[in-house]
Structure 1
Amino acid sequence: MTAHVVVGTDGSPSADAAVGWAAQDAARRGCVLRIVHVREAWGRGAESGTHPGFDDSQAEEARNVLDAAKDLARGRAPGVTVETSLEAGKSAEVLRREAEDAEQVVVGSRGRGGFAGLLLGSVSLALAGHVAAPVVVVRGKDVVEGDRETRGEIVVGFDGSPESEAALEYAFQEASRRGARLRALHAWQLPVLTTGIAAYTPLIEDVSDGERRLAAETLAPWREKYPQVEVEEKVFYAHPVFALGEASAAADLVVVGSRGLGGFGSAVLGSVSHGVLHHADCPVAVVRARGEG
Structure 2
Amino acid sequence: MELPLVVGADGSEPSLRAVDWAADEAALRGVPLRVVYASLWERYEGHALAEDLRKPSEEVMAEDVVGNAVERALRRHPELGVTGEVLPEEPEYALVREGRNASALVLGTRGRSGIAEMLLGSVSLTVAAHADCPVIVLRGSHDNRAQPATHGRVLVGVGEESKDSAAVRFAYDEARRRGVPVEAVRAWRCPAHETTDHPLMAGEPARLHEERAVETLEEATRDAPEDVEVRRRTVEGNARRVLVDLSHHADLLVVGARRREGHLGLQLGRVAHAALHHSACPVAVVPQPA
Give the TM-score category using the shorter length: 0.7 to 0.9
Identity rate, percent: 35
Write the distance in 2 (CA, Å) between the matches of 1:275 and 1:101: 27
Q: Which stretch of the first structure deviates more once superposed, 60-69 or 150-159?
A: 60-69
The alpha carbon displacement at 1:160 in A equals: 3.8
Write the distance in 2 (CA, Å) between the matches of 1:142 and 1:174: 16
Give the aligned partner of residue 217 of structure 1.
219
Give the aligned partner of residue 268 of structure 2.
269
Contact 1:10–1:112 (Cα < 8 Å) also in 2: no
- Provide closer, same or farther for how the CA distance between residues 151 and 72 of structure 1 changes in structure 2, counting only shifts above 3 A: farther
TM-score by length of 1: 0.82
- Provide closer, same or farther for how the CA distance between residues 8 and 209 of structure 1 changes in structure 2, counting only shifts above 3 A: same
Residue 191 (str. 1) matches residue 200 (str. 2): no
CA RMSD for the aligned pairs?
A: 3.1
Give the aligned partner of residue 230 of structure 2.
231
Secondary structure of the equivalent of 1:143?
Answer: coil
The alpha carbon displacement at 1:143 in A equals: 2.5
Contact 1:175–1:229 (Cα < 8 Å) also in 2: yes
Give the aligned partner of residue 101 of structure 2.
101
What amino acid does structure 1 have at the position aligned with 2:253? V
- Provide closer, same or farther for how the CA distance between residues 132 and 184 of structure 1 changes in structure 2, counting only shifts above 3 A: same
Structure 2 portions without partners, runs of 5+: 44-56
The alpha carbon displacement at 1:42 in A equals: 6.6
1:90-110 CA-to-partner distances (Å, cap 9, x unmatched) read 011111111111111111124
The alpha carbon displacement at 1:59 in A equals: 7.8
1:205-252 CA-to-partner distances (Å, cap 9, x unmatched) read 122122212212221112xxx111111110121111111111111111
Kindly report which structure 2 residues correspond to 1:1-293, keeping only aligned pairs within 5 A, or say none: 3-40=3-40, 61-110=61-110, 115=115, 121-143=121-143, 150-161=150-161, 165-193=165-193, 196=196, 199-222=201-224, 226-259=225-258, 268-291=267-290
Write the distance in 1 (CA, Å) between the matches of 2:104 and 2:145: 23
- Provide closer, same or farther for how the CA distance between residues 183 and 194 of structure 1 changes in structure 2, counting only shifts above 3 A: closer
What amino acid does structure 1 have at the position aligned with 2:108? G
Write the distance in 2 (CA, Å) between the matches of 1:98 and 1:2: 15
Secondary structure of the equivalent of 1:156?
Answer: strand
What amino acid does structure 1 have at the position aligned with 2:235? F
Contact 2:111–2:117 (Cα < 8 Å) also in 1: no
Contact 1:103–1:133 (Cα < 8 Å) also in 2: yes
Write the distance in 2 (CA, Å) between the matches of 1:127 and 1:163: 25
- Provide closer, same or farther for how the CA distance between residues 145 and 217 of structure 1 changes in structure 2, counting only shifts above 3 A: closer
Secondary structure of the equivalent of 2:276?
Answer: helix
The alpha carbon displacement at 1:71 in A equals: 2.2
Give the aligned partner of residue 52 of structure 2.
none
Structure 1 portions without partners, runs of 5+: 44-56
What amino acid does structure 2 have at the position aligned with 1:169? R
Secondary structure of the equivalent of 2:87?
Answer: strand
Contact 1:248–1:254 (Cα < 8 Å) also in 2: yes
